[in-house]
Structure formats: C-alpha cells, structure tokens
Amino acid sequence: MKKINKYKKLLKAVRDYLVFFLFMAFIITCCIQLFLHILSISINITYTKSNIRQAAILTFINVLILSFIFTVIDIIRRKITVERPVKNIIKSAEKIMKGDFSVRIEQQYGINSDNGFALIINYFNRMAEELSGLETLRMDFISNVSHELKTPLSIIQNYGILLQKSNLTDEDRIEYAKSITVASRRLSELITNILKLNKLENQQIYPKKQTYNLGEQLCECLLNFESTWEKKEININTSIEEEVFIESDIELLTLVWNNLFSNAMKFTDQGGSVSISLKSDNDFVFVQVSDTGCGISSETGKHIFDKFYQGDTSHATQGNGLGLALVKRIIDIIGGDIFVNSEVGKGSTFTVKFRKKNNE
C-alpha cells in the first residue's frame, strides 16, 4: 500500500511538472514567434531602431496579455481546487462545533481531486460519522441512566413516605423497609456497574494475570447462587473438566461468571435447568452456560451485549442491562471471545473461549 502511494505521488509530481512545462513553453513560444514575426516584417520594410523597439513593445504587451490570461486561469483554478474545499471544511467544522454531527462534505472529482483535500475530506467525514455515533450513544446512555435511576429512587421515595405514617403495622413497616432495601441495592449495583464499565471502556483497569484453576473458580461462583436455584427449584447440571489452568485476571473473570450465572438463573422459570460445562483442548478453554429459559430472537441477539439493552422486558426489573456489556468488555480485554446461541422458548447458551495455560 505504501509503495502504491509513493508511485501515485511520483506520477502526480511528473504530471504537475509536465502541465507547468507545457504552459511555460506555450507562452515563451508565442512570445518568440511574435517577436520574430514583427522583426521579420520590420527587416523587409526598413531595418531601424524604431522598428525593433516597436517589436519589443508589442512582444512585451503580448507577454502581459498572456500572463494576465493565465493569472486569471490560475485564480479560477485556485478558487475551485483550494478555496472552495477550504471554505467547505471550515463551514462544516463550525457546524460540528455547534453540535451538528450530521454534516458531511461532498467529495470533489476532477483533474486536481488528488491534491490532498480529497484525503482531508475523507477523514473529516469519517470523524463526523464517529462523532455522530458517539453522540447517539451518549444521548442513549444518558436517557437510559436517567430512567434506570428514576425507578429505584421513586420506589425509595414512595415507601419512605409510607413509612412516615403513624398507624403502620409491623408487617407493613417490615415490607416497606424490605422494598427500600431492594431498591437501594439495585441503585447501588447500577452505579457500581456504570463505574466499572466506564473504567473498562477508558482502559483504566488493567488485567492482573496469574495462573489458577478455572474449574475451582467456576464452582465457587456457582455456589454463591445456591439460594437462588433452591428457591426456584432449578436443576443444576455441571460438567467441569479437572485441572484446567489458565493465566488471567481472577477478579475480572469472577465478574463474567457471576453475570452469566445470574442471567441464567433469572431467565430460567421455576423447575427449569441450568448447565455449566468446562472443556479444553490443546490450546483453548471453553466455558458454556446454558439455561432452559425464554430464549432470545436473532434480532435481540445482535444487541445482547449493548449497554442497557434488555431483550426480555418481563425481567427488566431484575437487572439494569449492563451485565452483558460488562462481560463483553472484560472478555475483549483479556483477549477471549464470547458467543451466544439461543432459540425463543427453548433457552440460551453462552460460550466463552480463551487461550489455555500450557503447563510445561
């Protein structure tokens, strides 16, 4: 690619030189021809100093006329090829400064379309497109955060008002207090996840790699949800290969497993099943988390790792739509991959793949 660009620059330089050479040769040839023509006429008539002077003056006037013509041509060329794109870039930049990220500069095509402005315009349009996408994400993020914050705050406020009543029974007081606790916990989790996701996206968290047994970590994380699966009478199926060691960040991967297990339990109905498997080959480790829940459509699967996206709104009150966004960002940071296979009404399977620690 670099060689092609070098050849393009070389060809452009040769072309510019030839154009300049032809213009100059044309002007000089016209001037010499005119001078010789007048001089030959003067010689045939009468060879005097006044005739030579007259020929020189006419030649000089001719040079002035030709210079003026080509100066006008150059001014027009500069207005078309330089001033116009510069003005377009300045106007578009001013619109972007005012917050209009929909602006795009139209590419110019012609003899001098490769004079550098085409490249600048191309990068400017790409920058405007990126800024437009970021602005859309920012507005969506603010809208979603505002909505997610309002819900638990409204619950806390409403039950706080109810607790101020003097004729409350102990049962009502305990119930209202529990609701406030749940709402405040959800609010705390939302803020914590936002901060974590912000640090991950701004690369303020760096993996602290160490070698450890992945099977043991999966079992420990799974046991944290024992009360959940017992309450919903969920059948837990495990197929965990022993002595599988990886080199990664324990805390970051703990977040991954906790989020995947939490989602599996949340979307699995009473009496359903959740399966966790760990397998490895010579180079890679595969962790699968499957459930028999509601499943997701193919359209939902395209956005499942987007921030605040919740495909199943019936379970929206149990989460904030940031869990899988966190999972995806962590997997990207540690250099792994995550896939989802799902069918509506039959459940989902999340597969995490990353490189295995080789024991030499």
Which range is most confident: 72-81, 304-313, 348-357?
A: 348-357
Range(s) of the domain holding residue 148: 132-201
What integer is the mean pLDDT of 310-332? 61
How many of the other CB atoms lie within 10 Å of CB of 271? 10
Other C-beta atoms lying within 10 Å of the C-beta of residue 59: 20
Return the structure tokens found at 135: 């602005």
> What are the tens digits of pLDDT across the range 130-188?
887 767 666 666 666 666 677 778 888 888 888 888 888 888 888 888 888 888 877 87
**In this structure, are 228 and 194 located in the same domain?**
no
Whether 180 and 81 map to the same domain: the answer is no
Span 243-284, pLDDT tens digits:
888 888 888 888 888 888 888 888 888 889 999 999 988 888
pLDDT for residue 22 is more than 60: yes
d(CA 30, CA 292) in angstroms, rounded, equals 89
Q: What is the mean pLDDT of residues 238-244?
A: 87
In a domain, 82, yes or no: yes
Residues 236 and 350 in one domain: yes
SS3 336: coil
The CA-based angle 44-46-50, given to 5 degrees, is: 125
- Within this chain, do residues 306 and 331 fall inside the same structural domain, yes or no? yes
Quick one: pLDDT band at residue 316, thresholds 50, 70, 90?
A: very low
**Spatial distance between the Cα atoms of 240 and 280, rounded to a whole number of angstroms:** 10
Interval 193-231: pLDDT, tens? 667 666 666 655 567 788 888 899 999 888 888 888 888
The amino acid occupying position 331 is I
Q: Which residue has the higher pLDDT, 341 or 135?
A: 341
pLDDT band at residue 314 using 50, 70 and 90 as cut-offs: very low
* The pLDDT value given to residue 315: 43
pLDDT band at 318 (very low <50, low <70, confident <90, very high): very low
Both 69 and 22 in a single domain? yes
pLDDT confidence of residue 287: 92
- CB contact at 8 A, 42 and 55: yes
To which H or E segment does residue 245 belong? strand 245-248
Domain count, the chain: 3
Pair (237, 196) in one structural domain = no
**Token pair in block for residue 282:** 């010579």
**Is the residue at 206 inside a domain?**
no
The pLDDT assigned to 165 comes to: 84
Phi/psi class of residue 76: alpha, beta or left (left: φ > 0; alpha: ψ in -120 to 50)? alpha
Distance (Å, whole) CA 266 – CA 252: 21
Instruction: Select the more confidently predicted residue: 45 or 298.
Output: 298
**7 and 139 both lie in a single domain:** no
User: How crowded is residue 75: how many other Cβ atoms within 10 Å of its Cβ?
Assistant: 11
Q: What is the mean pLDDT of the chain?
A: 76
In single-letter form, the type of residue at position 24 comes to M
Which residues on adjacent β-strands are paired with residue 340?
350
Q: What sign has the CA pseudo-torsion 321, 323, 326, 331?
A: negative
- With vertex at residue 149, the alpha carbon angle to CA 143 and CA 151, rounded to the nearest 5 degrees, is 105
What is the residue-wise DSSP string for 17-86?
Answer: HHHHHHHHHHHHHHHHHHHHHHHHHHHHH---HHHHHHHHHHHHHHHHHHHHHHHHHHHHHHIIIIIHHH
